[in-house]
Structure 1
Amino acid sequence: MTFTTSLPGTAVLDLPDPAAKLTTGSARIAGVGTATTERSYSQLELLDLFHITDPKVRSVFLNSAIERRHLTIPPEAADGTRVPEAQGALLTKHKRVALDMGARAVKACLENSGIERSDIDYLCCVTTTGFLTPGISALLIREMGISAATSRVDVVGMGCNAGLNALNATAGWAVANPGKVAVMLCTEACSAAYVMDSTLRTAVVNSLFGDGAAAIALIADTPDTAYVTSGAPGGPPSAAGSPRILGFASHLITEAIDAMRYDWDDDQGKFSFYLDPQVPYVVGANAEQVVDRLLDGAGLRRSDIAHWLVHSGGKKVIDAVRINLGLTRHDVRHTTGVLRDYGNLSSSSFLFSYERLLKEQETRAGDYGVLMTMGPGSTIETALVQW
């Protein structure tokens, strides 16, 4: 008898009867938790706080489909302007804000899943909005009193798509260590990645991002809970609140590798994020092939998917993906709702949508869902789950 793989993250054992397969492990999402910074601002408040009067810049902010964002803005100077933040100050802010939000998101996740922090065996931390050595994972273990024996990894600098890149690795660890708890945290202090000037380039970025963190806990089936299936993708459905991760599919749009990038601005003396205006259309045009590849691997069609959780990358990005995949506005209601209430939360955005879906209590056992994130590379990442 030999091991084979029917879908990423699900190992199966060949048996004499070809109609029966024994699933020896698949990662399940046991819980989710989110956190933000304390203060949120409307787009109009931000324009006034930073004394932005340029009609073109104001139009970018006010036509973003974003109502409020949680941000940690610099203090006010004596003349009423905001104190400029050098790169060192931004990195200090990143450490403070990302760690605080991250700890609260992990706590919320553990409460949601009924797991104790002493149960955590693996911790994967994702961030794009700052650089730390040691990374967030080590700092969080010390901050929260998590066991020093916990295995850990930091995913840094991959961008808004990184949540699914990390989920792939975290699910793989869970499957390789059945019964043990793996936690993935995406913590993005986007307030620590801003450049304030009068250009439209920075206006697009500054109108979009917000501070947020989200964590999920994964546990894989142990051999004694394995089950026999008869051809159903990945095995029988799980409980309605605990979806299994069936597989992943990725697509790197190499011709647009510079369309989203975070590089050094000599004039400002800090890192600056660049977002090409054509990004929404490039992402939209490539969405079909990666989603269809994800579903083909499970013998599914788009019409079989009950729940779509797409990264809240921006109004134009969401519209481009929705139109190219033939989705309805209802299909992406959580994506647009997160954008409206929080802005783009980088790698943590899709988990805010996932949490909203669970609170809606519309999932049913057997339902399929597609998770999708997009970011620098340019990259589209997808995952297939089943409740």
Structure 2
Amino acid sequence: MKPATARIVALRPAAAGPAVSQDELFASFYKRLYAGVPDAEKVFTSTQVRQRRLAWTPQSHYADGFPGMRDRIDAWERHALAMGRESVGAVLEGVDRDAVGTYVFVSCTGYAGPTPEMLLAEEFGLRRDLRRTFVGHMGCYAAFNGLKVALDALAARPEELAMVTCAEVCSVHLRPEVTKEQVVVNGLFGDAAATILLASAQEHRDGPVVMATHTETHGATAGAMTWRVMDDAFRMTLSPYVPLYLSEAIVPFVTRLLEPHGLRIGDIAHWGIHPGGPKIIDFVGDRLRLPETMLEPSRRILSSWGNCSSPTVLLILDHIMREVRPAQGEYGVLLAFGPGLTLESALIRF
């Protein structure tokens, strides 16, 4: 078995605001917007989202029209910083800030310079020689890209700490587009952030271990999921075939993550499957032959937060750590998917 690479020192989520029920969102805004879409309410509720946290509730920010890109990006920056500030402050509590040598900020819902990690680094008094990286526009799997930058940094400088923040403000990109596809998109996505602090496993002895990551991209399905900057807002497209594509690829993909560590799918006690939608959880769970109890963390986050893009897998990990409370030595696998189609994963030992 390969040696462990890094330990999770702290993990904290942050919400964009109070929870809003899915029924309230549909009744107060989407029912009118999607009046011309057949079975719009059924499609909207089939996402299995029960509530979400939104920086921009549609009844407050879209009732009188659709703001331009400038207002949307201004809101993204303001709310990404606010959520980042909350989660960063929580993970740095009691930590020697001079020990943080790398900071990665992940977001695909906006752009601004100076980038958020620079502003937060200054606000929290982090080192002047801090290595900073902004990861943008990689979508729901982007937390893994942030983690991999942090893992590489710790491999090179094991005496330091590395921090990753994922913050998404999906609600600022609601479009005046009346299609079934957009009903699904606007029934799924919420806003959230999460920050994770990592240390070298050789230097620290407490906390879950990130043992490995594994990624694969299937370019033949590149058109199945897209996220593009348009004149009025960002625009997502989402093929109904995505769950099928993922279910066909998932078993060999996970096998390639586990085999170098002498593990099989049956050895994994905890699963964090990115809930791109309920069918993705269903199809992936079925192909991996997972009992419903192992899918519960993903369903719980989908129901109570929605799909929050990049922070979602960290919300699931936080739920597993705080609520499920894995026994010491148990293994977990985190999975996320996005444009490409790209599959990302991480192996955790609790």
Q: In the alignment, residue 14 of structure 2 is paired with which amino acid?
A: A
Mapped partners of 1:286, 1:61: distance in 2: 28
TM-score by length of structure 2 reads 0.93
User: Which of 289, 297, 302 is the equivalent residue of 1:326?
Assistant: 289
Per the TM alignment, residue 48 of structure 1 is displaced from its structure 2 partner at its CA by 2.4
Per the TM alignment, residue 202 of structure 1 is displaced from its structure 2 partner at its CA by 1.4
Mapped partners of 1:121, 1:147: distance in 2: 7
Mapped partners of 1:356, 1:278: distance in 2: 29
Tell me if structure 1 keeps the 8 A contact 2:47–2:184: no
Per the TM alignment, residue 88 of structure 1 is displaced from its structure 2 partner at its CA by 1.1
User: Which of 36, 41, 45 is the equivalent residue of 2:20?
Assistant: 41
Mapped partners of 1:162, 1:296: distance in 2: 24
Q: In the alignment, residue 212 of structure 1 is paired with which amino acid?
A: A
2:101 equivalent to 1:101:
no
Tell me if structure 1 keeps the 8 A contact 2:272–2:333: yes
Going from structure 1 to structure 2, the CA distance change for 1:182 and 1:77 (only over 3 Å counts) comes to closer
- Report the 3-state secondary structure (helix = DSSP H, G, I; strand = E; otherwise coil) of the residue aligned with 1:73: coil
Going from structure 1 to structure 2, the CA distance change for 1:90 and 1:67 (only over 3 Å counts) comes to same
Q: In the alignment, residue 81 of structure 1 is paired with which amino acid?
A: A
Runs of at least 4 residues off by over 3 Å: 74-78, 116-119
Identity %: 32
Per the TM alignment, residue 142 of structure 1 is displaced from its structure 2 partner at its CA by 2.6
Tell me if structure 1 keeps the 8 A contact 2:313–2:335: yes
User: Which of 183, 190, 208 is the equivalent residue of 2:163?
Assistant: 183
User: Which of 136, 154, 173 is the equivalent residue of 2:153?
Assistant: 173
Mapped partners of 1:369, 1:292: distance in 2: 14
Per the TM alignment, residue 37 of structure 1 is displaced from its structure 2 partner at its CA by 1.1
Moved more, 289-298 or 257-266: 257-266
Tell me if structure 1 keeps the 8 A contact 2:29–2:58: no
2:289 equivalent to 1:309:
no
1:232 aligned partner? none
User: Which of 39, 63, 69 is the equivalent residue of 1:81?
Assistant: 63
2:112 equivalent to 1:142:
no
Larger radius of gyration: 1
Q: Give CA deviations for 1:279-314 in whole Å, capped at 9, x if unaligned.
A: 111112111111000111111111111111111211
Per the TM alignment, residue 265 of structure 1 is displaced from its structure 2 partner at its CA by 4.2
Mapped partners of 1:248, 1:77: distance in 2: 41
1:60 aligned partner? 43
Tell me if structure 2 keeps the 8 A contact 1:179–1:222: no
- Report the 3-state secondary structure (helix = DSSP H, G, I; strand = E; otherwise coil) of the residue aligned with 2:8: strand
- Report the 3-state secondary structure (helix = DSSP H, G, I; strand = E; otherwise coil) of the residue aligned with 2:195: strand
Tell me if structure 1 keeps the 8 A contact 2:102–2:161: yes
Q: Give CA deviations for 1:135-185 in whole Å, capped at 9, x if unaligned.
A: 221122133333332111111010001111221221121121112110011
2:241 aligned partner? 278
2:228 aligned partner? 263
User: Which of 331, 346, 350 is the equivalent residue of 1:368?
Assistant: 331
Q: How many residues align?
A: 346
Mapped partners of 1:329, 1:213: distance in 2: 27
User: Which of 231, 248, 267 is the equivalent residue of 2:213?
Assistant: 248
Q: Give CA deviations for 1:228-279 in whole Å, capped at 9, x if unaligned.
A: xxxxxxxxxx65xx1111111111111111211112446xx33211111111
Mapped partners of 1:82, 1:150: distance in 2: 44
2:179 equivalent to 1:195:
no
- Report the 3-state secondary structure (helix = DSSP H, G, I; strand = E; otherwise coil) of the residue aligned with 2:236: strand
2:154 equivalent to 1:154:
no
Tell me if structure 2 keeps the 8 A contact 1:74–1:84: no
1:15 aligned partner? none
Per the TM alignment, residue 32 of structure 1 is displaced from its structure 2 partner at its CA by 0.3
2:7 equivalent to 1:28:
yes
Mapped partners of 2:60, 2:262: distance in 1: 60
Gapped regions of structure 1 (runs ≥ 5): 1-5, 11-24, 226-237
